[in-house]
A and B are shown apart, each in its own frame.
Chain A
Amino acid sequence: MSIRVPYVQSAASQQVPPPYHFPDVTVNAFYMNVSMERVQRYCDMYLNIGDEKTREYVYRPLAAWPYATVLYLNYPTMISAAPASPHLGEVPYSDRGAISQTEVFVAIPVVRYGRGAKRLITDTALEWALPFIVVGNPMSSVCGREMLGLGKLLAEIENGVGRYPESFHGRISLPGWPDDEPGTMQRMQEFMRIETKPVLPTPAGTQPPYRTLATLLESPEASKLVGGLSSVSNFIDSFSLGLIPTSMRTVGLKQYRDTADPQRAVYQALVTCRAQYLNVRNVRFYNELDIDMYFNDIGSFHEILEVFLEVDKKPTGKPHSVNTVAALRFEADINFDTLRVIREFPIDRDGLPPTPGASDLVSRWYRPLRGFFGPRRGVGLP
């Protein structure tokens, strides 16, 4: 942003300022296979924007991790930790109280490779694309869409205990169209459903647990290791091979339409944010062989499923069952912070030169070094 345009503040604005703190979040995570080809297609469509010859980076799937994670999160308390705005003279957001919400998203790791020898070292970073994200709170959906560039939809989300104690039941209903016929009325429809048996060990399962990943991780040796490392959350990443995402840096495309010509964009930028999982505790595994997970491949939902599932070209009108490769539940405190624009794209304008783009693609590890030794740079600066 080369020119500083003030935002007209008002309490009616739904955007609660970051950073956010979410204590005591319950996370149910389900891992499923994902096609690298589909992930690459998503990267090319929404992240690898602009001319390939001049672009300083390229996003690719993480070849070592061909899985998508479906995360059901229950946030009992969401707190804005933002300092009071000096301009408004109103109650600071952190003193207003807390909201709660449920959230479901699909997370896929992608790697941003810097292009050229120097950028390959300094600009390469692991980030998480969220091709599908829904929330139950309208304020959260607006904030996510308008500020963070996450395509949050507002949904009815069931997130709780299933038929058995210690089991999980999840269900999402979304507004959608049952078919593509002109004039068909939009309505709330079930989008997906997950049912598990109780966490392991349990006698309630129908599939033997000895073949599951959970059995390996819950062996006496491994469980000791999990218990010992759970207070050192950064180590969980390496131990669990990323099963428990201790620090997810998400990347999303923030864009706005032109009002009069909605096929045009008036703003496009890649935005990253960090979701840091702290104090991970009570890690329990489900038997992934005993999980029923399906997505409804009907009408307008087909377009969602095409992004990350191997579905037919046309909607089948039936539930699309998905096998999970691992499933677990844990609790954590989550901090959501360090939001920034990493790439602002030039915008074409009628009769005027394009708006200038800007880059701030330096990876996390190199950022402090560059800040200490190098010249000061940033978005909007040369």
Chain B
Amino acid sequence: MLTLTLLALAAGCSTTGKDGTRHYIVIGFGLVSVNTTNLASAEVYKMQVLGISASDMPGVRLNMGYASSLVVLVPANNSAILEISDGPFSPLKLK
């Protein structure tokens, strides 16, 4: 019961880690929106879903089951050098 209560409280929460990474937790039904109108020099999004998910990045997508996605966005008129390391259940490392 306590676990269920904690999970219910965590649903929809977002936290910011020490490295500035913003984490969103969605349990049940939720919507996470990312505004890409004014991109910073580079933005990296990681998504891990167990269940049903719909996304429009990079194309319209509807998944059922386990889905993992990593998207890197860099404005076309910018210069950036990025090194990204990622695993299914490990934090994203970005240099």
Asked if A and B are interacting partners, one says no
